[in-house]
Structure 1
Amino acid sequence: MDRRIKLRHIEVFVEITHRRSLKLAAEKLNLTQPAISKTLKELEIILSAELLTRDRGGVALTREGSVFLQFAEIGLAALRQGVTSLGEIASGTAARVAVGALPSVAARLLPQAAGIFRSYAPGALLHLEDGPHGFLTDRLRSGDLDMVVGRLGEAETMAGLSFTSLYEEHVVVVVAPGHPLEGATDLSALRDWQVIYPSERSAIRSLVDRAMIAAGAGIPPNRVESVSGAFGRSMALDEARAVWIISRGVVERDIAAGRLKALPIDLLATAGPVGIMMRVEEEPMPAQRLMRQALAEAVRRQGLA
């Protein structure tokens, strides 16, 4: 790395992008606006790239600025986390991030994100919980969780919460290989089978309800309501040979390995954003910022976005 780049260059650049204003960034950092402009110009000269454009509406990232920002934020957050961690070691405490994950995220994204987070913050404790949307968002509002990763819920379930989109996914219907319904193309075919169906407070329940009604199938009378990956997988593969309706992320690996078969039923209308939910009134702590970065990096590595 170019030794001319100092911490002040990174702090100024990141703060300007967050505030979208040189004036507001200067106030936040207790600097003058000319000093902020000079520091930013120095960084652009060192990098031989224009990072921001300025106009009457404020500032905007260039393509080069967008690339640099990602790594500048990670580096700055990691440094802050390091300083915080030293203080926590001295006081006998450790940084802790409590994350709630909906089943599709817990199965698909979170294992890799947890490993990335560990590399960003080796001394931090990551606490993970999974469950349905309503349960986890209630725990987020109460302060038991720092963030929830999963499907964007209905408007009434998102009161007091922010949402940052990561990628999109849709619902699938899966059965065990060789199941009599393996080639079914219509939801009405599920009527005579036991179905593992999304629970009432799950983010996908209303989408699945609408899809079933639109297909003329109605809500399956012979259903067990659950979003548990372990339970659904057991019911589909064991003697019950149940039909399982679930977010694709929960069963992506099973489908790829041939353990489950996705029915050729068009459910793209159930597609929706998966992202990070947090309390709107709180500024993320350094460890929380690193977890957000780890999730985004896992999405990039898996090619989900």
Structure 2
Amino acid sequence: MPASIKLHQLRAFVEVTRQGSIRAASRVAKLSQPALSKSVQELEEALGAPLFIRQRQGVQLTATGKDFFRHASLILEELRVAQEEIQQRLGQAGGSVNIGVGGSIARTLMPKVITQFHHLFPEVSVRILEGQLVTLLPELRQGELDFTINTWSPGHQDNELSYETLMERDYCVVVRKGHPLANATSLEALRHCSWTMPSPNGSYYQLLQDLFADSGPLPAITITCETFMACASLLAQSDFVSILSQDFFTDPLVGHRLVALKLREKMPRATFCLIRRKDTALTPMGAQLARLFRQQSQALVLA
């Protein structure tokens, strides 16, 4: 009969994996290094397989460790969600909600939604990650994010996830005010420029490859900015060219320093969805936050 796995062993393994070393994990978990090492060793013995390769500078997951980490982290998140759901249903407003947002959502819907949510539930902590869906998928799959509000396009699918359409938004080619080609009227006039984009693996930005391909070779994109703020800051202080949501021009930090070009070619519209795991129900607080995002999305569409 296989040895039983203890909860503290799972927690030790997941923390060491996330921190990259026993020493770093002991500081975060506030446990001694020998205690963490013992828990991990007991877990390896229970599983009958090594989970880490021990190195001088830390630890590295074995192939078995990588597979088990996905299960272990999801188990711990499911337990957290279950515990918080019971507490919240008993009227104990607390716990946490973890969400991901795309860059344009971070500058439009998110501030209003989070302000309203915090006013309604001041005891609930919220963790917000900004990024494209492709960069947030690992945490979403592992249960570390309750949901994300991000772009989605046909063909960019994951059978583990559900996609609830919230709204569509317009995108445009963007340069700084005073850019030498601020009066350009076609993509062809901009093809030789220096472009910066998020990763082309992002669901919306995959659509742009087809757009450029119809009119000739793709422009060279040598600078990849994974956050919209990094992209917008680079645009505002250089002659780089990019494609951003039109909502970005409402950003008080850099929106006033950028202009949208009036091109013959129309950029594809982006579809924003509330994306979450199919097999995990949201906690009451997670459901409340999702409801507020739906309301603000509808208000933005009708504005």
TM-score scaled to structure 1, two decimals? 0.64
Give structure 1 stretches of 5+ with no counterpart: 1-79
- 1:112-156 deviation per Cα after TM superposition (whole angstroms, max 9, x unaligned): 111121233222111100112112122101111000111114535
Aligned partner of 1:84 in structure 2 is 88
Aligned partner of 1:230 in structure 2 is 229
Partners of 2:296 and 2:165 lie apart in 1 by 14
Q: Which runs of 4+ in 1 moved over 6 A?
A: 80-83
Give structure 2 stretches of 5+ with no counterpart: 1-83
Partners of 1:260 and 1:143 lie apart in 2 by 37
Aligned partner of 1:56 in structure 2 is none
- Cα root mean square deviation, aligned: 2.7
Q: Which amino acid letter does the alignment assign opposite residue 242 of structure 1?
A: F
Partners of 2:110 and 2:300 lie apart in 1 by 11
Partners of 1:256 and 1:211 lie apart in 2 by 27
Task: Give the one of 273, 280, 283 matched to 1:282.
Answer: 280
Q: Which amino acid letter does the alignment assign opposite residue 245 of structure 2?
A: S
Contact 2:88 2:285 in 1 (8 A): no
Contact 1:99 1:147 in 2 (8 A): yes
Partners of 1:130 and 1:212 lie apart in 2 by 27
User: Matched residue of 1:155: which SS?
Assistant: coil
Partners of 1:156 and 1:130 lie apart in 2 by 19
User: Matched residue of 2:219: which SS?
Assistant: coil
Partners of 1:122 and 1:268 lie apart in 2 by 43
What are the within-5 Å matches in structure 2 for residues 1-305 of structure 1?
A: 84=88, 88=92, 94-216=94-216, 218-238=217-237, 240-253=238-251, 258-266=256-264, 268=266, 270-303=268-301
How much identity, in percent, do the aligned residues show? 23
Shift of 1:159: 2.3
Partners of 2:267 and 2:233 lie apart in 1 by 27
- 1:162-195 deviation per Cα after TM superposition (whole angstroms, max 9, x unaligned): 1111110132111111212112121112222111
TM-score scaled to structure 2, two decimals? 0.65
| Residues 139 and 102 (structure 1), Cα distance of their counterparts in 2 relative to 1, 3 Å cut | same
Query: How many pairs are equivalent?
Result: 220
Contact 2:197 2:221 in 1 (8 A): no
Stretch deviating more after TM superposition (246-255 or 219-228): 246-255
Aligned partner of 1:13 in structure 2 is none
Contact 1:152 1:203 in 2 (8 A): yes
